[in-house]
Amino acid sequence: MRGPPRAERPTIDDDWCTTMTSPWLAHPGDRAPARPRRVVHESWERARRRELDPEHLLPLLEVAEDSLADFRLAHPLAPVLPVIRKLLVRDAEGSGLLVAVGDEMGRLLWVEGDDAAKRRAEEMRFVAGAGWSERQVGTSAPGTALELDHGIQIHDEEHFNRLVHGWSCTAVPVHDPETRRILGVIDITGDARAVDPHTLPLIEATAAAAEAELMVLRLKALRGGATEPRMRVAGFASTARPGASGSAAYPDVRPARPARPRPVSMHVLGRDTGELTSPSGTLELSTRHSEIVTVLAWHREGLSAARLADLVYGDADATVTLRAEIVRLRRILASVGSGDPGSGAGSGLGLESRPYRLSVPVELDAHHVISLLDRGAHRVALAASRGPLLPGSEAPGVVEIRDTVRRRLREAMLTDAAIDVLLDYAATEDGRDDAEVLTAALRLLPPRSPKRAGVVAQLESLC
């Protein structure tokens, strides 16, 4: 692979990282910074904790070539490929850029665009069927976008994997328009043009268009508008028109009316036990079962028995204890997943093995808070944050998620929130003893505001 000379991996300075002002945008046209941006630093740290080797991270071919067509046809984004192609792929051909669409586990299903770039990308196995999740290859736009559930740009040597140095990429997750669960990811990969300032909003607009198209297809299905012979594709029906232009693998589509699983949610903020809500009703889980479901809901791609035991018990060798708990949890989830008579479809909730994973996504209220923050709805996000996540739990995986949600909320309040929202945050348990939050509020308040005295009193009480 042709790319710039590989420099020594920069060292990480936590103090320097906290001074970065841009949360996740690269600086196109420049060399990668001597020290990583915070979002890159944190991604590298996750890769190190997973003991990934930056010198030997060739992605695995997780989808065999003879199975790839079936994977594509079964994927929920297959019906909207024409939209993605029209907005991105058509302009990528001959540009040196590639457009990739992957599933929610980071497996690339479509890689299209410039032929010369495709040949060069094969050297780092950026090909259809390859797994590019952050857990497999470390920092990359498609994998890290899925890990963080927001758009991101990764510039050249910001990739953890040295085999990818010389390439830059921008990626944005695509969500189900109703449940907001992640369906997959759209990525542009190539030279520095892949992280131009316009690239991220372009892909975000494409993802929004794809989500809107999915919603339109579903609404048409409810009206029963299809009259031509149809082929079922991933919960939709497609109508192949003889002589129609375009790829035969992606005919024009219109949705059928399948009985699909209904969303399952779980409240864990400000509660010591999780409360599952499904078509069958509401169910309160035990503390341990709440921890297991929370960890698996957060790590949707699944976890090995040893990794799950480590995150729940703090001991990777506690797999026997874990398996006994899993048996009990399966029986409970089976009653939740079956649905009620006449409901049309149950939630489909169950617990699968190898790796351990939930059969359908469980939307945590913590997911909702982070989604609101990503959309800039800080006031609503603060209102939705009802307290720490499972505050009584000491499970390492739960503590990690709790800290992530708390940190994301605090950072959003400090960097983007309006003064009245920041003051509301300063009145919470996390904010009232935070000198940086109080100082930021004091800086934003007008000189003659009567609220300044209260903020000053709070600051003085911390001294």
| Domains of the chain by residue range | 14-216, 259-416, 418-463
Q: Angle at Cα 338 formed by Cα 220 and Cα 149, nearest 5°?
A: 60
Both tokens of 20, joined, read 């970065």
Q: Is the pTM of this model over 0.85?
A: no
What tens-digit pLDDT sequence spans the chain (463 residues)?
344 333 333 333 333 333 333 333 444 444 444 577 889 999 999 999 888 888 878 888 888 787 788 788 888 999 999 999 998 987 666 678 999 999 988 999 999 998 889 999 998 999 999 999 998 899 999 999 999 999 999 998 899 988 899 999 999 999 998 888 899 999 999 998 899 888 999 999 999 999 999 999 888 877 764 433 333 333 333 333 333 333 333 334 444 444 444 568 899 999 999 998 876 678 899 999 999 999 999 998 899 999 999 999 999 999 999 999 999 999 888 876 555 433 334 557 889 988 999 988 888 999 988 888 887 778 878 888 888 999 999 999 999 999 999 999 999 999 888 888 899 999 998 898 999 999 999 999 998 899 999 999 988 888 7
Contact partners, residue 375, CB within 8 Å, separation at least 6? none
- Written as one letter, the residue type at 310 is D
Q: What is the pLDDT of residue 385?
A: 87
Phi and psi at 389, nearest 5°, equal -75, 120
Displacement of CA 193 from its chain's centroid (Å):
24
- Is 14-216 in CATH node 2.60.120.860? no
- Burial (CB count within 10 angstroms: exposed 0-12, middle 13-18, buried 19+), residue 12: middle
Per the CB < 8 A criterion, the answer to whether 279 and 365 are in contact is: no
